[in-house]
Amino acid sequence: MSPARVRGAEDRLRDLPNARACVGNALSLPFEADSFDLVFSRFLMEYLPEKPHAVQEMARVCKRGGKLLLQDLDGQLVWHYPEDADLQNTTERILSRLAGTGLTPL
């Protein structure tokens, strides 16, 4: 939504002829339905009070059978989806040790 950030993206995309950057609101994306094979959002949801609305918008512009990828922070990077048993076990062991130091990550 920030013109300054979009200008930065335009600079980085200069050598990619099939890529472009544009200003838009995640709650009302400036694209037609079923437009993209992949819709990717990173570090955005934490800023939006209307998260489900934004996800619905992303699903709207994603083609049927396409992929919607949301990447965001949960404070201490404790939760992962799709779930990975090894990663979750390791995370819980680390949190358990850290809890002994007084850390409350959640």
Ligand X SMILES: C[S@@+](CC[C@H](N)C(=O)[O-])C[C@H]1O[C@@H](n2cnc3c(N)ncnc32)[C@H](O)[C@@H]1O
Q: Which residues of the shown chain bind ligand X in the complex (CB under 6 A)?
A: 1-2, 5, 25-27, 42-44, 47-48
Residue 42 or 63 having the CB closest to ligand X: 42
* Residue 95 beta carbon to ligand X: minimum distance, rounded to whole angstroms: 25
How many distinct helices (H) and strands (E) make up the chain? 3, 2
Q: Which two tokens stand for residue 29?
A: 């994306």
Residue 2 or 104 having the CB closest to ligand X: 2
The DSSP bridge pattern shows strands 62-71 and 36-42 to be: parallel
Residue 4 or 85 having the CB closest to ligand X: 4
* Residue 6 beta carbon to ligand X: minimum distance, rounded to whole angstroms: 8
Helix/strand/coil for 104: coil
Q: Cα–Cα distance between 89 and 105 in angstroms, integer?
A: 16
Residue 9 or 94 having the CB closest to ligand X: 9
* Residue 21 beta carbon to ligand X: minimum distance, rounded to whole angstroms: 11
Q: Cα–Cα distance between 33 and 23 in angstroms, integer?
A: 18
* Residue 66 beta carbon to ligand X: minimum distance, rounded to whole angstroms: 19
Amino acid letter, residue 100: G
